[in-house]
Structure 1
Amino acid sequence: MDPEPVNFVTSALLPILLIVPLFDILSYIGLMPWIIKWVGRGLSAVTRQPRFESFFAVEMMFLGNTEALAISKAQLQAISARRNATVAIMSMSCVSAALVGAYVQLVPGEFVLTAIPLNCINALLVASILYPVPVSEEEDTIVTVGGADGGGHEVDAEAVARYEALPLRRRLVTRRPDAPEREPFFSFLGDSVLEAGKVILIVLANVIAFVALAALIDRLLALVSPGLSLEAILGVALFPLAWLLGLEPSTAYDMSQLMGLKLVTNEFVVMGQVTSSIGGLADHYQAVLTVFLTSFANFSTAGMVVGCFKGLVDEERNLIVARNVWRMMLSGVLVSLLSAGMVGLFVW
C-alpha cells in the first residue's frame, strides 16, 4: 500500500483536535449559528440553495472537508439524511486554506487561487444536479446549542414580549426567555474534544481501508497484465473529457493519465511530478491542469468523508452517504472539469 496518501491524510486530520473545539465554543456562545444563519441567508439568495448548504460550500473552501463537517455536527444531525448526502457530495470538491501556500509553490498560483472559488460555486451546482433534494422553508433552519434558530423550551409569551421591548443595549446582555438550555461549558468542551478524537480515529481507519482497496486492485490488475493499474484505466476513461478541455490528443492523453493518478493518490503526488516541467507547458494546458488538480477529489478523500459521517451522524444518515460514494467521486471529477473548462476558456 502506498503510504503517501495515508501520510498526507494523517497530517491533515491533526488540526481537527484544535479547530473542532474552537468552533464548538463559538457555537456554544451562539456566534457560529448566527454567522451561518445570516451569511447563509445571503448566499442562499444568490445560489437558490438552502442556507446551510450555501454556507458549507464557503466554509469547506477555507477549512477543508473533515474540519467543516466536524464543526457542523449539530446541523448534520438535524437535517434530513438526503441533505447529508448532498453535503457529502459537495465535500469532494474542497481544499484547505492551510494548503494553498504549498500548492502555489508547486504549480502556478494564479490558477490555484482562481480554482478555489470556482470549485465552491460548482460544487453547489453539481450536487444539486446529481442529487436534487427539495428543502422547504420550514426545514431550512440553523441549529444552535439546544435548539434550532434559537428555539428552545416552552416559555410564557409575555416574557418574550417583555424581552423584545427592552432597548438593544439591554438585550445584548440579557438572556432570551426562549433561549435553549445549555449544559455546563466545561462538560460541553470535554465532549467536543472526545468527539474530535473519535472522528480522527474513524476517518483514519476508513482512509487506510480505501487506500488499501485501491492498492489491492492495482496488484490484481498487475497479475492480469504488467503495467496495468487503476490509474491507467481511469486515465484512458478520462481521455475524452480531457480532450474536450481543448487540448491536442497527445496532450489530452498525458493530462488524462495525470487525472487518473490524482484520483487514485492525491493532488500533491501529481503536483510534485509536474512542478519542474509545468512552466514550459502551453498556457492553456497549465491553466486546465492546475485547476483540475486544485481539489481534494480522490479515493482517500471519499474514505475521509465516509469516515467523518460515520463518527458524526446516526446509522440512517451514514447509510445514505455510503450509498452515494459513486456520486461523490463523480461530483469531484465533474466539478474539477467544470472549473478547469471555465478557466480554460479565457487562457490560451
Structure 2
Amino acid sequence: MKYIIGIVGLVVVLGLAWIASSDKRNVKHKPIITMIILEFILGFILLNTEIGNFLVGGIANGFQILLKCAAEGVNFVFGGLVNENQFTFFISVLLPIVFISALIGILQYWKVLPVIVKYIGLVLSKVNGMGKLESYNAVASAILGQSEVFISVKKQLGLLPKHRLYTLCASAMSTVSMSIVGSYMVLLEPKYVVTALVLNLFGGFIISSIINPYSVTEEEDILVVHEEKKQTFFEVLGEYIMDGFKVAVIVGAMLIGFVAIIAMVNGIFQGIFGISFQNLLGYVFSPFAFLMGVPFNEAIQAASVMATKLVSNEFVAMNLLASGSVHLSVRTTAIVSVFLVSFANFSSIGIISGAVKGLNEEQGNVVARFGLKLLYGATLVSVLTATIVGLIV
C-alpha cells in the first residue's frame, strides 16, 4: 500500500510543478526521468546498504570530530555559562558554525573548494540538461550558503535573464550550506541529513526543469566565477570566522523571535479555538504528509512539524522534532527529517532577494517579484525528497 500512495504522491508533486510551469510544452522529460532514477538509486544506497552506512558513518564521524574541536573553542569562551548535563541550544548547536565556517575559509583559500565545485558542476550539467553556471551554482550553494554563493557569480548576475536567475535562486533555497550541516546532525540522525543533501541537489534541478524549462547555448553558458581581491591567509580566516559568528547570532535571534511568536499564537488559538496554531497547520498540511508516505494516524503530527518549518525556519522545526514532544515512528521520522533539511521558508525569500540586491539592485527586484514562486518550487523539492525517502525506507 505504501508504494501505491508514494507513487501517487510522486505524480502529485510533479503535477503541481507542471501546473506552475512557465513553458509546459518545452519541459525536457529525459533529464527529469534520469534524475528521478538517480535519486532512487542514491537514496537506496545511502539508507539501505552497507556502502551507504559506511559513507554516512564516515561523514557523521568526520563532523563529530569537527564538532568536538569546535567545542574546545566554545568551552574556552562560554564554559562557565554551561550547566552541567544540560543542553544549551545556542552553545551546542549554533556556535560550532563558527569553526566549520573557518574551516571552509581555509579550504577556499587553498583553492580546494573552487576546484571541487567547478568540476562537479561541469559533470552535473551533463546529467541535468541545464547550463554549467546553474550546475556550478547548485554545488556552490551547498558549500558556501544561500546568500554567499551569489558573490561567486557576481559578474554574471547582471547578464542573466529572469528564467536563469530563477534556477540559481531555487538551488540556493533548496540546498543548505556546509557550515550549518554539523548543527543539523546534533538534532537529526546524520543519515537523514546526508541523504537530504544529495537528493535535494537533484530535486532542485528536477522541479526547476518543470517549473522553469529553457535551453542554454554554448555562447550563453560561459562560466565566470568572480575572483575576490587577493587576501592573506589570516584575512580570509578572520573573515570566515566573523561570517560564521554572524550566521550563528542571526539564526539565534530569529529562533528567539519565531519560537516566542509561535508560543504566543499557540496560546491565542488555544484560548479561542481550543486548538494550537501548529495543530491547525497540521490538519491543513496532513494530506501532503500522507502522500509523502506518512501513515494516516501520524499525518497531523508530522504535518505540524513540516508546516512549522515553512512558516518559521528549519531549526525551529528540528528542535520541535528533537524535543520529544512529538512521537513519530521510525519511518515517519525519516520522512519528516529529510523534509526539514532545506532553506525553503518565507524568511529565505528576503534573504535571497536581499543578497542579490546587494550585488545588483535591478536583479534583486526581479528576485523579489518571483519570491513566492521560488518558495513554491523549493517546497516542492522538499516534498519530492521526502516522498522518495518514504518509498525507500
**TM-score, reference length from structure 1:** 0.67
Q: What are the equivalent positions in structure 2 for 1:172-183 lying under 5 Å apart?
A: none
Identity %: 32
Task: State the alpha-carbon separation in 2 of the partners of residues 81 and 65 from structure 1.
Answer: 18
Task: State the alpha-carbon separation in 1 of the partners of residues 213 and 325 from structure 2.
Answer: 38
Measured after TM superposition, the shift of residue 77 of structure 1 is: 2.9
1:296 corresponds to which residue?
A: 343
Q: 1:320 aligns with which of 353, 363, 366?
A: 366
**Letter of the 1:319 counterpart:** N
Offset from partner CA, 1:136-181 (integer Å, 9 cap, x none): 22101112569xxxxxxxxxxxxxxxxxxxxxxxxxxxxxxxxxxx
Task: State the alpha-carbon separation in 1 of the partners of residues 204 and 186 from structure 2.
Answer: 25
Unpaired segments ≥5 residues, structure 1: 1-9, 147-182
Task: State the alpha-carbon separation in 2 of the partners of residues 280 and 225 from structure 1.
Answer: 26
The answer to whether 1:345 aligns with 2:391 is yes
**TM-score, reference length from structure 2:** 0.60
- Contact 1:262/1:270 (<8 A) preserved: yes
Stretches of 4+ aligned residues off by more than 3 angstroms = 10-15, 17-27, 31-39, 183-186, 222-237, 276-281
- SS for the counterpart of 1:49 is coil
**Letter of the 2:391 counterpart:** L
The answer to whether 1:74 aligns with 2:155 is yes
- Contact 2:153/2:225 (<8 A) preserved: no
- SS for the counterpart of 1:72 is helix
Task: State the alpha-carbon separation in 2 of the partners of residues 284 and 264 from structure 1.
Answer: 24
**Letter of the 1:323 counterpart:** R
1:287 corresponds to which residue?
A: 334
Task: State the alpha-carbon separation in 2 of the partners of residues 301 and 184 from structure 1.
Answer: 28
Q: Structure 2 vs 1, CA of residues 319 and 234 (structure 1 numbering), >3 Å: closer, same or farther?
A: farther
Computing the radius of gyration from Cα coordinates, the structure with the larger value is: 1
- Contact 2:282/2:299 (<8 A) preserved: no
**Letter of the 2:310 counterpart:** L
- Contact 1:44/1:51 (<8 A) preserved: yes
**Letter of the 2:308 counterpart:** L
Measured after TM superposition, the shift of residue 118 of structure 1 is: 0.5
Unpaired segments ≥5 residues, structure 2: 1-93
**Letter of the 1:244 counterpart:** L
Measured after TM superposition, the shift of residue 49 of structure 1 is: 1.2
1:258 corresponds to which residue?
A: 305
2:136 corresponds to which residue?
A: 55
The answer to whether 1:335 aligns with 2:335 is no
Q: 1:268 aligns with which of 312, 315, 339?
A: 315
The answer to whether 1:246 aligns with 2:327 is no
- Contact 1:107/1:278 (<8 A) preserved: no
Measured after TM superposition, the shift of residue 229 of structure 1 is: 8.0
Offset from partner CA, 1:217-239 (integer Å, 9 cap, x none): x97xx699557887566543322
Q: What are the equivalent positions in structure 2 for 1:100-111 lying under 5 Å apart?
A: 100-111=181-192
Q: How many residues align?
A: 289
Measured after TM superposition, the shift of residue 82 of structure 1 is: 2.6
Q: Structure 2 vs 1, CA of residues 295 and 184 (structure 1 numbering), >3 Å: closer, same or farther?
A: closer
- Contact 2:121/2:139 (<8 A) preserved: no
Query: Which structure dedicates a bigger proportion of its chain to helix?
Result: 2
